[in-house]
């Protein structure tokens, strides 16, 4: 009897030892999956689905003044003379908007028409809460000419897509050691006196309101002709920029699975970012360390269950966890504004 008891204990210890090795190995695999971002493509696809599911109504107080194809046909090709842009800005300013973001670079004086620069500078100086763009290109800051910008606020434009070419995030408020300016959307909200959350530092996941065209657009040509009543622009956040295909910068954004592709112009992306800020949405992605810990905890729980109840129940639980984990991630994104990349947990 004593020998049998010792043999049983030895087998138990051996089994515990084997389970400990398996648990450690699988936990290590989970951390490697998370740390190495091996599942980023699948996570990205699931995230895109969540963003599409979480579409919301467009804000009525964010308006894009689009330099579109009709405007190009009416005023000639791009670039326009700055006197025309000055007239457009004046018409917008007369309507008393909350803030105006001009997504057009004026990096150099117009040597052919210096009087146009004077008109543009006067129009900008007469527009409250106007924000002009800065663009960073290979470490260089493309600033608006001082003779045009005057004392206007400055905000960064320019965006960087993820490795798969899809735009999902932006840095709104760079680290204090970073020489880059805050993003134009953030500067516009601050200029209008909007009370925002304490900090938007780090990467900000863009809470797109929906596909391209969701946010209201008014053609610049309509404003220049005087066809738009001031009430349509009054107390609004106005973003002025080029939307003409082939001229405007555009980015691939999260889209429905049945959509061949969905591109959005730079000025419309800024409008979506601004809308998210005004809505108080602050999408946050869990740090890799937390994702790794969650993966490890899930694995340990499943192994303990497997050890206690046997393979049949455990396989059912593992199948359920594989299915429910992505659904949980989508729910957290939709209702808690937290993105938890679930694929590494589901695969582990």
Q: Predicted confidence band at 292 (pLDDT cuts at 50, 70, 90)?
A: low
187-200 pLDDT, tens digit each: 999 999 888 765 66
Query: What whole-number distance in Å separates Cα of residue 206 and Cα of residue 278?
Result: 13
| Residue 137: φ, ψ to 5° | -130, 110
68 pLDDT higher than 70: yes
pLDDT value of residue 325: 78
pLDDT in tens, 258-287: 554 588 999 999 999 999 999 988 888 777
Dihedrals φ, ψ of 200, to 5°? -120, 35
Angstrom distances, CA of residue 33 to CA of 165, 294, 341? 22, 13, 11
Distance, CA of 214 to CA of 274 (rounded, Å): 14
Burial string for 336-348 (b: 16+ CB within 10 Å, else e) reads: ebbbbbbbbbbeb
Per-residue confidence (pLDDT) for residue 285, from 0 to 100: 79
* DSSP string of 38-78, one letter each residue: TTHHHHHHHHHHHHHHT--PPPTTEEEEEE-HHHHHHH-SS
Averaged pLDDT, 77-89: 94
pLDDT digits (tens, 9 = 90+) for 36-58: 455 667 888 888 988 888 888 89
The per-residue pLDDT for 342 is 77
């Amino acid at each position: 009897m004593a020998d049998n008891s010792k043999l049983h204990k030895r087998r138990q210890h051996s089994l515990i030892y084997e389970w400990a090795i398996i648990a450690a190995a699988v936990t290590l695999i989970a951390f490697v999956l998370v740390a190495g971002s091996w599942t980023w493509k699948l996570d990205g696809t699931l995230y895109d689905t969540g963003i599409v599911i979480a579409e919301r109504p467009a804000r009525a107080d964010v308006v894009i003044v689009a330099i579109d194809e009709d405007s190009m046909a009416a005023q000639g090709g791009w670039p326009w003379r700055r006197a025309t842009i000055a007239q457009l800005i004046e018409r917008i300013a007369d309507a008393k908007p909350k803030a105006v973001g001009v997504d057009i670079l004026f990096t150099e004086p117009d040597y052919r028409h210096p009087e146009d620069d004077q008109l543009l500078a006067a129009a900008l100086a007469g527009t409250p809460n106007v924000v002009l763009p800065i663009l960073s290109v290979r470490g260089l800051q493309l600033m608006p000419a001082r003779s045009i910008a005057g004392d206007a606020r400055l905000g960064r434009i320019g965006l960087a897509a993820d490795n798969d070419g899809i735009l999902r995030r932006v840095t709104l408020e760079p680290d204090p050691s970073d020489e880059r300016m805050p993003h134009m959307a953030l500067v516009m909200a601050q200029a209008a006196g909007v009370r925002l959350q304490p900090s938007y530092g780090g990467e900000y996941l863009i809470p797109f309101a929906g596909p391209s065209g969701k946010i209201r657009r008014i053609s610049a040509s309509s404003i220049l002709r005087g066809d738009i009543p001031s009430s349509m622009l009054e107390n609004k956040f106005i973003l002025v920029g080029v939307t003409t295909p082939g001229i405007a910068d555009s980015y691939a954004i999260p889209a429905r699975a049945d959509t061949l592709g969905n591109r959005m112009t730079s000025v419309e992306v800024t409008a979506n970012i601004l809308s998210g800020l005004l809505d108080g949405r602050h999408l946050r992605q869990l740090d890799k360390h937390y994702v790794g810990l969650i993966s490890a905890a899930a694995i340990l729980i499943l192994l303990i269950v497997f050890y206690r109840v046997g393979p049949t129940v455990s396989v059912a639980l593992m199948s359920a966890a594989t299915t429910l984990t992505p659904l949980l991630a989508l729910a957290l994104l939709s209702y808690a504004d937290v993105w938890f990349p679930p694929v590494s947990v589901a695969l582990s």
